[in-house]
A and B are shown apart, each in its own frame.
Chain A
Amino acid sequence: ILNVEQSPQSLHVQEGDSTNFTCSFPSSNFYALHWYRWETAKSPEALFVMTLNGDEKKKGRISATLNTKEGYSYLYIKGSQPEDSATYLCALTGNQFYFGTGTSLTVIP
Protein backbone atom coordinates (compact mmCIF):
# COMPACT_ATOMS: atom_id res chain seq x y z
CA ILE A 1 0.00 0.00 0.00
CA LEU A 2 1.38 3.42 -0.97
CA ASN A 3 0.62 6.30 1.35
CA VAL A 4 -0.81 9.28 -0.51
CA GLU A 5 -1.55 12.27 1.70
CA GLN A 6 -3.52 15.38 0.89
CA SER A 7 -3.63 18.64 2.78
CA PRO A 8 -5.51 20.44 3.98
CA GLN A 9 -8.42 18.11 4.63
CA SER A 10 -10.89 20.93 4.05
CA LEU A 11 -10.78 24.51 2.96
CA HIS A 12 -13.25 27.40 2.88
CA VAL A 13 -12.46 30.37 0.66
CA GLN A 14 -14.30 33.45 -0.51
CA GLU A 15 -15.40 33.75 -4.11
CA GLY A 16 -12.60 35.32 -6.10
CA ASP A 17 -9.80 34.06 -3.86
CA SER A 18 -7.08 31.90 -5.29
CA THR A 19 -6.19 28.75 -3.43
CA ASN A 20 -3.94 25.74 -3.57
CA PHE A 21 -3.59 22.36 -1.93
CA THR A 22 -1.03 19.60 -1.75
CA CYS A 23 -0.72 15.94 -2.60
CA SER A 24 2.29 14.15 -1.07
CA PHE A 25 3.48 10.70 -2.06
CA PRO A 26 6.52 8.42 -1.79
CA SER A 27 9.03 9.64 -4.37
CA SER A 28 10.24 6.12 -5.14
CA ASN A 29 8.27 3.83 -7.49
CA PHE A 30 6.57 6.78 -9.16
CA TYR A 31 4.65 6.13 -12.36
CA ALA A 32 1.90 8.74 -12.71
CA LEU A 33 -0.03 11.22 -10.60
CA HIS A 34 -3.70 11.91 -11.27
CA TRP A 35 -5.96 14.70 -10.05
CA TYR A 36 -9.73 14.27 -9.91
CA ARG A 37 -12.60 16.57 -9.06
CA TRP A 38 -15.46 14.99 -7.13
CA GLU A 39 -18.72 16.81 -6.63
CA THR A 40 -21.22 15.62 -4.06
CA ALA A 41 -23.59 12.95 -5.40
CA LYS A 42 -21.55 12.56 -8.57
CA SER A 43 -18.61 10.45 -9.71
CA PRO A 44 -15.00 11.58 -9.69
CA GLU A 45 -13.99 13.33 -12.91
CA ALA A 46 -10.46 13.47 -14.22
CA LEU A 47 -8.60 16.77 -14.23
CA PHE A 48 -4.98 15.92 -15.00
CA VAL A 49 -2.54 13.08 -15.45
CA MET A 50 1.10 13.94 -14.91
CA THR A 51 4.09 11.70 -15.34
CA LEU A 52 7.24 13.79 -15.67
CA ASN A 53 9.08 15.70 -12.98
CA GLY A 54 8.37 19.38 -13.53
CA ASP A 55 5.12 18.72 -15.41
CA GLU A 56 2.65 21.57 -15.34
CA LYS A 57 -0.91 21.18 -16.55
CA LYS A 58 -3.66 23.75 -16.91
CA LYS A 59 -7.40 23.57 -17.49
CA GLY A 60 -9.14 26.92 -17.36
CA ARG A 61 -8.55 28.41 -13.91
CA ILE A 62 -7.15 25.16 -12.51
CA SER A 63 -3.52 24.17 -12.82
CA ALA A 64 -1.23 21.58 -11.30
CA THR A 65 2.48 21.03 -10.87
CA LEU A 66 4.48 17.91 -10.13
CA ASN A 67 7.73 17.29 -8.29
CA THR A 68 8.55 13.59 -8.38
CA LYS A 69 11.96 13.96 -6.71
CA GLU A 70 10.51 15.37 -3.52
CA GLY A 71 7.18 13.61 -3.83
CA TYR A 72 4.51 16.27 -4.10
CA SER A 73 2.02 17.86 -6.46
CA TYR A 74 0.19 21.16 -6.06
CA LEU A 75 -3.24 21.98 -7.40
CA TYR A 76 -4.03 25.67 -7.87
CA ILE A 77 -7.37 27.32 -8.44
CA LYS A 78 -7.28 30.93 -9.56
CA GLY A 79 -10.23 33.17 -8.75
CA SER A 80 -12.36 30.49 -7.05
CA GLN A 81 -16.03 30.32 -7.98
CA PRO A 82 -18.88 28.62 -6.09
CA GLU A 83 -19.02 25.94 -8.81
CA ASP A 84 -15.46 24.97 -7.87
CA SER A 85 -16.80 23.61 -4.58
CA ALA A 86 -15.95 19.90 -4.58
CA THR A 87 -13.53 17.38 -3.18
CA TYR A 88 -10.24 17.24 -5.06
CA LEU A 89 -8.56 13.85 -5.09
CA CYS A 90 -5.09 12.87 -6.13
CA ALA A 91 -4.03 9.34 -6.95
CA LEU A 92 -0.68 7.68 -7.46
CA THR A 93 -0.70 4.90 -10.01
CA GLY A 94 1.23 1.95 -11.23
CA ASN A 95 -1.01 -1.03 -11.89
CA GLN A 96 -3.11 0.02 -8.94
CA PHE A 97 -4.54 3.39 -8.09
CA TYR A 98 -3.76 4.72 -4.60
CA PHE A 99 -6.01 7.62 -3.72
CA GLY A 100 -5.52 10.27 -1.08
CA THR A 101 -8.48 11.15 1.15
CA GLY A 102 -9.05 14.40 -0.70
CA THR A 103 -9.29 18.10 0.01
CA SER A 104 -12.84 19.38 0.39
CA LEU A 105 -13.13 22.89 -1.03
CA THR A 106 -16.06 25.18 -0.27
CA VAL A 107 -16.22 28.49 -2.09
CA ILE A 108 -18.41 30.99 -0.29
CA PRO A 109 -20.30 33.44 -2.56
Chain B
Amino acid sequence: EAQVTQNPRYLITVTGKKLTVTCSQNMNHEYMSWYRQDPGLGLRQIYYSMNVEVTDKGDVPEGYKVSRKEKRNFPLILESPSPNQTSLYFCASNFPGDTQYFGPGTRLTVL
Protein backbone atom coordinates (compact mmCIF):
# COMPACT_ATOMS: atom_id res chain seq x y z
CA GLU B 1 0.00 0.00 0.00
CA ALA B 2 1.34 3.41 -1.01
CA GLN B 3 1.73 5.49 2.10
CA VAL B 4 3.59 8.08 4.12
CA THR B 5 4.26 7.04 7.70
CA GLN B 6 5.24 9.22 10.63
CA ASN B 7 6.40 8.29 14.10
CA PRO B 8 5.54 8.96 16.78
CA ARG B 9 1.92 9.96 16.31
CA TYR B 10 1.75 11.67 19.68
CA LEU B 11 4.57 13.07 21.79
CA ILE B 12 4.70 15.05 24.98
CA THR B 13 8.13 16.33 25.91
CA VAL B 14 9.85 19.06 27.91
CA THR B 15 11.65 22.19 26.82
CA GLY B 16 15.16 21.55 25.59
CA LYS B 17 15.00 17.78 25.19
CA LYS B 18 16.08 16.90 21.66
CA LEU B 19 13.61 14.89 19.62
CA THR B 20 13.24 13.43 16.15
CA VAL B 21 10.05 12.77 14.25
CA THR B 22 10.56 10.22 11.51
CA CYS B 23 8.90 10.25 8.12
CA SER B 24 9.06 7.52 5.51
CA GLN B 25 7.40 7.06 2.11
CA ASN B 26 7.27 4.00 -0.13
CA MET B 27 6.28 5.68 -3.40
CA ASN B 28 9.77 6.61 -4.61
CA HIS B 29 8.86 10.30 -4.49
CA GLU B 30 11.63 12.79 -5.05
CA TYR B 31 9.98 15.58 -3.06
CA MET B 32 9.33 15.47 0.65
CA SER B 33 8.11 18.22 2.97
CA TRP B 34 7.37 18.99 6.59
CA TYR B 35 4.49 21.21 7.68
CA ARG B 36 3.11 22.45 10.92
CA GLN B 37 -0.56 23.20 11.39
CA ASP B 38 -1.69 25.74 13.93
CA PRO B 39 -5.23 27.02 14.49
CA GLY B 40 -6.06 29.93 12.21
CA LEU B 41 -2.73 29.69 10.38
CA GLY B 42 -3.27 26.73 8.10
CA LEU B 43 -0.44 24.52 6.91
CA ARG B 44 2.95 26.19 6.92
CA GLN B 45 5.94 24.57 5.29
CA ILE B 46 8.95 24.08 7.56
CA TYR B 47 11.45 22.42 5.24
CA TYR B 48 11.32 20.61 1.95
CA SER B 49 13.61 18.38 -0.01
CA MET B 50 13.72 17.92 -3.77
CA ASN B 51 15.94 14.87 -3.62
CA VAL B 52 18.59 13.07 -1.59
CA GLU B 53 20.99 15.50 0.06
CA VAL B 54 18.98 18.50 -1.22
CA THR B 55 17.00 20.40 1.41
CA ASP B 56 15.61 23.93 1.53
CA LYS B 57 13.96 26.13 4.10
CA GLY B 58 10.25 26.68 3.92
CA ASP B 59 8.39 29.53 5.56
CA VAL B 60 9.00 28.63 9.22
CA PRO B 61 12.34 26.79 9.52
CA GLU B 62 13.57 28.36 12.78
CA GLY B 63 14.19 25.76 15.49
CA TYR B 64 14.07 22.79 13.13
CA LYS B 65 16.57 20.70 11.21
CA VAL B 66 16.08 18.04 8.57
CA SER B 67 18.21 15.58 6.66
CA ARG B 68 17.67 13.54 3.53
CA LYS B 69 20.23 10.78 3.38
CA GLU B 70 17.91 8.29 1.72
CA LYS B 71 15.13 8.92 -0.75
CA ARG B 72 12.44 7.32 1.40
CA ASN B 73 13.22 9.04 4.73
CA PHE B 74 13.01 12.67 5.81
CA PRO B 75 13.31 13.06 9.58
CA LEU B 76 12.45 16.30 11.38
CA ILE B 77 14.77 17.18 14.24
CA LEU B 78 14.07 19.60 17.06
CA GLU B 79 17.41 20.16 18.77
CA SER B 80 16.01 22.18 21.67
CA PRO B 81 12.22 22.18 21.58
CA SER B 82 10.32 25.12 23.02
CA PRO B 83 6.63 25.50 23.90
CA ASN B 84 5.97 27.55 20.74
CA GLN B 85 6.75 24.40 18.76
CA THR B 86 3.70 22.69 20.20
CA SER B 87 1.75 21.90 17.07
CA LEU B 88 0.43 19.27 14.70
CA TYR B 89 3.10 18.21 12.22
CA PHE B 90 2.58 16.62 8.83
CA CYS B 91 5.07 15.03 6.51
CA ALA B 92 4.21 14.83 2.80
CA SER B 93 5.78 13.50 -0.37
CA ASN B 94 5.18 13.89 -4.08
CA PHE B 95 6.59 13.60 -7.56
CA PRO B 96 7.63 16.98 -9.01
CA GLY B 97 4.56 18.89 -10.15
CA ASP B 98 2.20 16.29 -8.77
CA THR B 99 -0.10 16.20 -5.78
CA GLN B 100 1.26 15.64 -2.28
CA TYR B 101 0.51 12.60 -0.15
CA PHE B 102 0.35 13.34 3.54
CA GLY B 103 1.29 11.26 6.53
CA PRO B 104 -1.13 10.79 9.44
CA GLY B 105 0.30 13.65 11.49
CA THR B 106 2.28 13.93 14.74
CA ARG B 107 0.81 15.88 17.60
CA LEU B 108 3.65 17.38 19.61
CA THR B 109 3.30 19.06 22.98
CA VAL B 110 6.32 20.81 24.50
CA LEU B 111 5.92 21.63 28.17
- Which positions in A face B, CB cutoff 8 Å? 1, 31-32, 34, 42-46, 49, 51, 89, 91, 93, 95-102
Contact = CB atoms under 8 A, between A and B. Distances in A.
B99 A95 contact: no
Contact of A101 (B41, B90, B100): B41
Q: Which of B48, B100, B101, B103 has the most C-beta atoms of chain A within 10 angstroms of its own C-beta?
A: B100
Given A43-B104, A51-B97, A91-B43, 16 more contacts: A34-B99, A34-B100, A43-B105, A44-B43, A44-B90, A44-B100, A95-B56, A96-B45, A97-B43, A97-B45, A97-B48, A99-B35, A99-B42, A99-B43, A99-B45, A101-B42
B31 to A, nearest CB: 8
B41 A43 contact: no
B100 A46 contact: yes
Interface in B51-98: 56, 58-59, 90, 92, 97-98
B50 A95 contact: yes
Interface of B: 33, 35, 40-45, 48, 50, 56, 58-59, 90, 92, 97-105
Nearest to B102: A43
Nearest to A46: B99
Given A46-B99, A95-B56, A102 B42 contact: yes
Contacts of A32: 97
Contact of A44 (B44, B58, B59, B102): B102
Nearest to A32: B97
Contacts of A1: 59
Contact of A89 (B43, B98, B104): B43
A100 B42 contact: yes
22 contacts: A31-B97, A34-B99, A42-B104, A43-B102, A44-B43, A44-B100, A44-B102, A46-B100, A49-B98, A49-B99, A95-B48, A95-B50, A95-B56, A96-B56, A96-B58, A97-B33, A97-B48, A97-B100, A98-B59, A99-B43, A99-B44, A102-B42
Contacts of A46: 99-101
